[in-house]
Structure 1
Amino acid sequence: MFPLSSRKRNAFTLVELLVVIAIIGVLVGLLLPAVQAAREAARRMSCSNNFKQLGIALHNYHAAFKNCPTQMGGTQTPPGARAWYRATDEANQLSLGWLVGLMPFAEQQGIWEQISNPNFVDLAAPGTTRAVPWPAMGPTITDEDNQYGSGINTRNTAYQPWMTEIPMLRCPSDPGVGLPAMGRTNYAACLGDANSFHADGPYYSTIELAPDRVEEMRASGRGFFETRKEIKFRDVIDGLSNTIAAGEIMTDIGDRDIRTLARALIGFGPASDEPLFCRNDIDVERPKYWDPNVTVLAAANQGRGYRWASGTATYSSMNTILPPNTELCVTFFDTGQGMLSSSSRHLGGVHILMGDGAVRFISDSIDAGDSNTPTVQLDGIGDSAPGQKSPYGLWGALGTRASREVIDQEL
């Protein structure tokens, strides 16, 4: 028998066990950020690939039709019979966005067949259908029975294509999902560096605009896309590789984020004349959120990116006035124009799709010129006069298609 003191120990002491646990904890603490960063990098690449596929679809669409899809296009009842923002089942009232026409070119033939053909869809209780089929190209996407958002009409939510969540239109880094949104999108058409009577389009369901509106649209319709106008690649005089076709946007998750829920104003002036008009309404203690006392878009279903098929600026458009990941500021609620920049959940910047199909990652700190300058518009003076170069630096210049500005920086 060996003495008790010379017996071999078969267990760890408490001190040794605590040391091992501490080492494991340190290693986990060191590795976890790296794992999270790797996951975000994968999500960011997936987001970029989605955007790239949309770029290919855009070029295939142009090859087929010799123009780009129209932002705020589609079908209509007799011109002027019903304003485009009024809900109706008879036509979409020229309210469709750029993404709808891309569906058959983006491996989404199934949903395109539903949209492009009349079809019966359950309207209410199981087993009940409409007396007549939904029209080809669907009903309106707006839920407003008047300009100011009262009289909510939910019939359009029964039209399944407008409610469908299409995976290729979603950035994996964006957590938004489901109601109160319809089908969400994280990719928005670029309307350029101006918005006067431009971002939301004409107020009535007709392509024939009043002469003054035509002139206003010509002065401020400077982007790759222009409301209710068929843009061709030949119209992009600055070059497809120098012009933003679309930008990434975040979708709202109900937290009053300044990038996903717009500050709502009444009146056109501030939306064009003062790009920073809404900045004083941001919560000083939480600078990514609106002050609790200010008015944001009232309806729960009017968040950024909430309706993939809608051409309304709030849902599927962006402009290059304020830098990426800055506040949203609009007039006349979700049907209005305003400051609607690009945004993302990625750290430090946003993805943009160039006209040539290339996807670039743009930093939040990109040169954005003087944000105190009014946007270019018909009655603008100085730097805001029609035909002027963008007052919003490199960011603004990338958003315009024909301002003849030289892009001398590598993106």
Structure 2
Amino acid sequence: MNVEITRMRPSDAIRKNGFTLVELLVVIAIIGVLVGLLLPAVQAAREAARRMQCQNKLRQIGLACHNFQDTRGHLPGGGRDGDHRVPDPLEDCCRSQTHAGWSWSYSILAYIEADNVYQLASQSDDPDVGDSGYNAKEDLVAQATSPIYTCPSRRNSTSYGSGSFYRVDYAGNAGTRGPGSVRDKASSGLDGVIMQTDRGKIRIEQIRDGSSNTIMIGEKALHRDSFGSEGGDNERWNNAGWDEDVIRFGAGELADGTRYGITPISDQEATHKDGSSWTTVTDKGGVVWGQWHPFFGSSHPGGTNFCLADGSVRFVGESVDGELFRRLSVSDDGEIVELE
């Protein structure tokens, strides 16, 4: 019997059982590129989901406003300052002394499954006429809130300040902002959908320009460095008075009567504290605004969510035409605009 002996070459003795260092580095590089390509898509998908959540919250707010009208006969008021029981105190500052003057965001609580918060205070907690105090339960309500009032793209529901008071990310459409004070009854807030409490009442059917063509509630612009401190985010969510915390303007009027659109801005563009001073923002009419400003806006890239008076929710792009947005914001000028 012949036995054949095969000699192994030295190179055959070592067989490849894994990647070489070069191959491993190549694989890691490919994975890194794939992750880099995938991450923006994941972030975009997450933002799309957050934007949809924001739209759903606005839709619930819009439905609550409709239900409020069905019960009370008119849309909720935007809030007021002073004491509603004394003659014409509408130009007072800086929040309502009485339960009746609290913000729209408080008025609709019973219609967003937050009646337990609504019931924390009542008219019986108001101070006596002539007293300088406020409703005894306003702080208790301010320390509670509904998660429906914060946009998930901006922040979680968070309390601020020594009183631990919550804020709201949505604002009623007050129409045209005049050249005077926000409380100037001669110019500001006469043609919006959310009107100053006790200045007037409006029903959806009375919106001359059509409920599907007029903004009711929208997101308010707020820089990320200004949470809880900027002029439009420094008051109690339930009792800010007639104030930029709870109302914003989509139209402006200059001293000479010229009217123009105050288009939404991104949160990044919004005014904020820079060192010891506040930055400014100039609107389409050339008016410069600082800590207290009228702008709608959002943390969403590319635009802002709005609930129209018919309850539908639309995303309005940041490049919206000024005149188009002015017409969307004014309820009674007869200049109808159709959204695509």
TM-score category by the smaller chain?
0.7 to 0.9
Q: Secondary structure at the match of 1:313?
A: coil
Q: Is the 8 A contact 1:76 1:92 kept in 2?
A: yes
In the TM superposition, what is the alpha-carbon distance from 1:343 to its structure 2 partner?
0.6
Rounded to whole Å, the distance in 2 between the matches of 1:254 and 1:116 is: 35
Quick one: which of 184, 189, 193 aligns to 1:224? 193
Is structure 2 residue 21 aligned with structure 1 residue 41? no
Q: Amino acid of the residue matched to residue 350 of structure 1?
A: T
Rounded to whole Å, the distance in 2 between the matches of 1:163 and 1:79 is: 28
In the TM superposition, what is the alpha-carbon distance from 1:56 to its structure 2 partner?
0.6
Q: Amino acid of the residue matched to residue 224 of structure 1?
A: V
Quick one: which of 93, 100, 112 aligns to 1:85? 93
Is structure 2 residue 254 aligned with structure 1 residue 247? no
Q: Secondary structure at the match of 2:165?
A: coil
Q: Which moved more, 1:69-78 or 1:313-322?
A: 69-78
Listed one character per residue, the Cα deviations across residues 101-125 of structure 1 (whole Å, up to 9, x for unaligned) are 100011111101113376xxxxxxx
| Residues 184/108 of structure 1: CA separation in 2 closer, same or farther (3 Å cut) | same
Q: Amino acid of the residue matched to residue 112 of structure 2?
A: A
Counterpart in 1 of 2:159?
178
Listed one character per residue, the Cα deviations across residues 196-227 of structure 1 (whole Å, up to 9, x for unaligned) are 567336xxxxxxxxxxx5xx25x861111221
Counterpart in 2 of 1:407?
337
Counterpart in 2 of 1:324?
264
Listed one character per residue, the Cα deviations across residues 327-384 of structure 1 (whole Å, up to 9, x for unaligned) are 56799998xxx7512110001110111000000000111110xxxxxxxxxxxxxxxx
In the TM superposition, what is the alpha-carbon distance from 1:11 to its structure 2 partner?
2.6
Rounded to whole Å, the distance in 2 between the matches of 1:301 and 1:21 is: 46
Q: Amino acid of the residue matched to residue 346 of structure 1?
A: H
Q: Is the 8 A contact 1:251 1:305 kept in 2?
A: no
Q: Amino acid of the residue matched to residue 186 of structure 1?
A: D
Counterpart in 2 of 1:129?
none
Listed one character per residue, the Cα deviations across residues 158-183 of structure 1 (whole Å, up to 9, x for unaligned) are 82211224210110000363323721
Structure 2 unpaired stretches of 5+:
1-6, 252-261, 272-280, 282-286
Q: Is the 8 A contact 2:142 2:165 kept in 1?
A: yes
Structure 1 unpaired stretches of 5+:
119-134, 140-144, 146-152, 202-212, 262-299, 369-392
| Residues 195/243 of structure 1: CA separation in 2 closer, same or farther (3 Å cut) | same
| Residues 397/93 of structure 1: CA separation in 2 closer, same or farther (3 Å cut) | same
| Residues 79/249 of structure 1: CA separation in 2 closer, same or farther (3 Å cut) | same
| Residues 97/252 of structure 1: CA separation in 2 closer, same or farther (3 Å cut) | farther
Q: Is the 8 A contact 2:222 2:270 kept in 1?
A: no
Rounded to whole Å, the distance in 2 between the matches of 1:85 and 1:331 is: 22
Q: Secondary structure at the match of 2:16?
A: coil
Higher strand share: 2
Rounded to whole Å, the distance in 2 between the matches of 1:80 and 1:92 is: 14
In the TM superposition, what is the alpha-carbon distance from 1:237 to its structure 2 partner?
1.2
Quick one: which of 240, 244, 268 aligns to 1:314? 244
Rounded to whole Å, the distance in 2 between the matches of 1:33 and 1:397 is: 36
Q: Secondary structure at the match of 1:21?
A: helix
Quick one: which of 48, 61, 70 aligns to 2:68? 61
Q: Secondary structure at the match of 1:247?
A: strand
Q: Is the 8 A contact 1:74 1:94 kept in 2?
A: no
Q: Is the 8 A contact 1:163 1:182 kept in 2?
A: yes
Rounded to whole Å, the distance in 1 between the matches of 2:320 and 2:304 is: 11
Counterpart in 2 of 1:304?
233
Counterpart in 1 of 2:310?
356
Counterpart in 2 of 1:233?
204
Counterpart in 2 of 1:345?
299
Q: Which moved more, 1:242-251 or 1:59-68?
A: 242-251
Q: Is the 8 A contact 1:55 1:353 kept in 2?
A: yes
Counterpart in 2 of 1:96?
102
TM-score by length of 1: 0.63
| Residues 199/245 of structure 1: CA separation in 2 closer, same or farther (3 Å cut) | farther
Quick one: which of 87, 93, 111 aligns to 1:105? 111
Counterpart in 1 of 2:37?
30
Q: Which moved more, 1:245-254 or 1:53-62?
A: 245-254
Listed one character per residue, the Cα deviations across residues 10-67 of structure 1 (whole Å, up to 9, x for unaligned) are 2321101101110110110010000000100000000000000001101111011110
Counterpart in 1 of 2:142?
162
Pairwise CA RMSD of aligned residues?
3.6
Counterpart in 1 of 2:255?
none
In the TM superposition, what is the alpha-carbon distance from 1:233 to its structure 2 partner?
2.0
In the TM superposition, what is the alpha-carbon distance from 1:239 to its structure 2 partner?
1.1
| Residues 196/79 of structure 1: CA separation in 2 closer, same or farther (3 Å cut) | farther
Q: Which structure's CA Rg is the greater one?
A: 2
Rounded to whole Å, the distance in 2 between the matches of 1:87 and 1:74 is: 4
Q: Is the 8 A contact 1:174 1:250 kept in 2?
A: no
Q: How many residues align?
A: 296
Rounded to whole Å, the distance in 2 between the matches of 1:86 and 1:28 is: 51
Quick one: which of 11, 28, 34 aligns to 2:18? 11
Q: Secondary structure at the match of 2:244?
A: helix
Is structure 2 residue 58 aligned with structure 1 residue 51? yes
Counterpart in 1 of 2:259?
none
